[in-house]
Amino acid sequence: MTTITVLNWNLEKGINLRSGARWVREQRPDLFFQQEVQPDQLAELEELLDMDGHIAVPRPGSSNDNAIFVRRGGALVCTEEYPQAWAPWHAPTNIAVRLRDADGTLSPRQISCVSMHTCYWSPEHRLTEARWCTTLAKPGWLAMLFGDWNSYRVGTELAWETHTDRAFVANRTYEEHGRRHTDVRPDRELLAAGYIEIARHAAQHLGQPDALNATAGYRDHPGRPSGPGYCIDRGYLSAELAPALADFAVCDTPDLRRMSDHLPLKAAFDAAELRTILHRQAEMYVPHNNGLTTAAGQGGACA
């Protein structure tokens, strides 16, 4: 089976840029979603990875940018890029990719790809950022979202009374009915929009329970109890893309833990199944086209 490989990694503030990029290149990803790219690192990363990079619109007050890299001459081709200047903190990177067939032609349908790093200090901003992602969940559209969501899966409840880092508690919870709640609202919003969380799908349908492993929280921080980590790095797919998922893993080694405070996510997609999906006709509404059109007319993200 030929597969399309996708990676996501928050490589902590680009500190271990070269060693991190070396590991990524060894995985030969077709797409690489990265968070916390630092100013002026894009060109160096493109060279180290041998991939073409697309970086988010810079935002005032933040130097941690999101980026998506596409393998040169690979199976996927970036056909459009959508600047997202609306974001309250880290702007998402948003591109569209199409699958390259053996004869060089591109698939009629595209996948809207988003690299996200939601606001660590505001649950309200995080909810807004997740709600923006729902604009890519329109009927017939295809989307792939990866990122550091700074929030948790629905069903997660943490013992916040054990934390003496009260700022962290305030950042990762929201107040409702007079008490603090673990912030699971971005996950709930994305699921409500019809997205499939990749790790859940792998655990439930591919027999891969380790897909739900923690991605962060394995480093000691003053005021935060040590113990099991938590999964704040997650990937989401349009439901129509889920049958193409062949494998998913949270990559975890001592070296990877040394390089960043987040672990990489690695997904593999069946190329033949993906081709079937991207060549399947789907009716969808496109603005200014007086109604429904076929998949070839799929739009990109909302500006």
- pLDDT tens track for 150-179: 999 999 988 999 999 999 999 999 999 999
The pair of three-digit structure tokens given for residue 303, joined into one six-digit string: 């500006």
**Which range has the worst mean pLDDT, 109-113, 158-162, 298-302?**
298-302
Cα separation, 204 vs 213, whole angstroms: 14
pTM above 0.85, yes or no: yes
3-151+184-297 CATH choice from 3.60.10.10, 3.30.450.20, 3.40.47.10, 3.90.1530.10 = 3.60.10.10
Dihedral through CA 222, CA 226, CA 228, CA 231, nearest 10?
A: 0
What pLDDT sits at residue 302? Answer: 39
What pLDDT sits at residue 303? Answer: 33
pLDDT digits (tens, 9 = 90+) for 179-202: 999 999 999 999 999 999 999 999
Q: What average pLDDT is seen over the chain?
A: 93
pLDDT at 289 > cutoff 70: no
Q: In terms of C-beta density within 10 A (0-12 exposed, 13-18 middle, 19 or more buried), how is residue 231 classed?
A: buried
């060109």: which residue's tokens? 43
The pair of three-digit structure tokens given for residue 160, joined into one six-digit string: 């916040």
pLDDT at 299 > cutoff 70: no
Element of type H or E holding 49: helix 42-49
What mean pLDDT is predicted for residues 79-96? 96
Element of type H or E holding 8: strand 3-10
